Amino acid sequence: MHKQVVQFKRYKLKKTWNKKIKVIIGRLVLFFIALGVVIWLGTQLYYFCVFHAIRTVTAELGELTESTAAKAVLLISESVVRAPGTGKLLPIVAEGDRVPVGTLVAQLELMADPAGNSGKISIKSPSTGIISYQLDGWESIYDRYSWQRVDPSVIFEKLEGGNKIASGIREDIKQGEPVFKVIDNLANPYLIVQFPQGFKPHIEEKDQLTLAWEKDGTGKGLVVAHHKKGDHHYAVVELKQARPYPTQRNLDLQLMHILGEGIIIPESALVEKEGQTGVYIMAVTGPKYRKVEVAATLNDQAAVQGIVPGVEVITNPRLAEIICNK
């Protein structure tokens, strides 16, 4: 009898423990299910927030253009005509007119001698070119190729500082003084350009520049040399096109340089992936990676090839990577 009581108690205890274990297991299962649901909802909420934190811009076709003001001095092919006597200059050809060789440019009205006799001497153009009565004294010192022999920055400093001589239409010209100069406008002039202090231009040899000066002066130039000296960068530019042809020595320029063409996007949109540069674009199904080629960068902008205008480019690609790698 005692043995049966003990067995009954053991059976009842075992049944109680089994029941408790089942309850604990059930509660643990419910706990982990609830925990999984919470984690899943939290993850979805996290990706929802990340997705809505993504910022995009519409890709547009354009150019990255660097523009700056600069000072320049002009190196040209020019010949000086001097007065054959003393007297008053009587111009016939206007300043800036182009004439063929042998053209009567001006007359010199000679001073009367003690007997009261006077006369006029004709002064003709020794070559074809543009007539200018404004001389600065550098005509016989520097020519259009001087930058190849002398440091361009030294030439700039001297020419920009001036070397004033008597010039222009005058009534008291002495024999041997310069009367006018003939500028060969068929030979491309060179510009020595000084960029503003501290400004570093993004230029290389053979780069094309668009130039503007004065009110209506425009032209195209080719960079043939550039260097830095002191706080300034200098460039030697061959003036390929000019309208009107500049005759003044010193020019205040506005330079424009196209660094690259393509789709213009913020530089922050670029991302490196597997050794390649690309961007994330926003598609219907979410962010998609696209490889691109970078043509140029300037002022936090980039010109790229590899995507089409109109797509939405993601400007914070790290968030796009989170979504793509989930």
pLDDT (0 to 100) of residue 102 = 95
Q: Is the pLDDT of residue 290 over 60?
A: yes
pLDDT (0 to 100) of residue 141 = 86
Average pLDDT, whole number, for the chain?
Answer: 86
Residues whose CB falls within 8 Å of the CB of residue 212, separated by 6 or more in sequence, listed in order: 218, 219, 253, 254, 256
In a domain, 291, yes or no: yes
Q: In terms of pLDDT, which residue wins out, 264 or 115?
A: 264
Where does the pLDDT of residue 53 fall: very low under 50, low under 70, confident under 90, or very high at 90 and above? low
Q: Among the listed ranges 46-50, 89-93, 220-224, which one has the minimum average pLDDT value?
A: 46-50
CATH number for the domain including 311? 2.40.420.20
Residue 185 phi, psi dihedral angles, 5° rounding: -85, 0
Where does the pLDDT of residue 326 fall: very low under 50, low under 70, confident under 90, or very high at 90 and above? low
> If you write DSSP's letter for every residue of 231-264 in order, what string do you get?
TEEEEEEEEEEEESPP--SEEEEEEEEEEEEEEE
Where does the pLDDT of residue 48 fall: very low under 50, low under 70, confident under 90, or very high at 90 and above? low
Q: Which tens digit of pLDDT belongs to each residue from 194-210? A: 999 999 999 999 999 99
Q: Is the pLDDT of residue 222 over 90?
A: yes
pLDDT (0 to 100) of residue 49 = 52
In a domain, 172, yes or no: no
The pTM (predicted TM-score) of the whole model is 0.75
Residue 21 phi, psi dihedral angles, 5° rounding: -65, -40
In a domain, 119, yes or no: no
Number of domains comprising the chain? 1
Q: How far apart are CA 192 and CA 225, in angstroms?
A: 9
Q: List the domain range (segments joined by +) for residue 272.
A: 53-64+262-324
In a domain, 218, yes or no: no
Q: Is the pLDDT of residue 15 over 80?
A: no
pLDDT (0 to 100) of residue 303 = 95
Q: How far apart are CA 254 and CA 196, in angstroms?
A: 12
pLDDT (0 to 100) of residue 199 = 93
Q: Which tens digit of pLDDT belongs to each residue from 87-121? A: 899 999 999 999 999 999 999 998 776 666 678 99
Q: In terms of pLDDT, which residue wins out, 256 or 165?
A: 256
pLDDT (0 to 100) of residue 43 = 62
In a domain, 186, yes or no: no
User: Six-digit token pair at 6?
Assistant: 């003990």
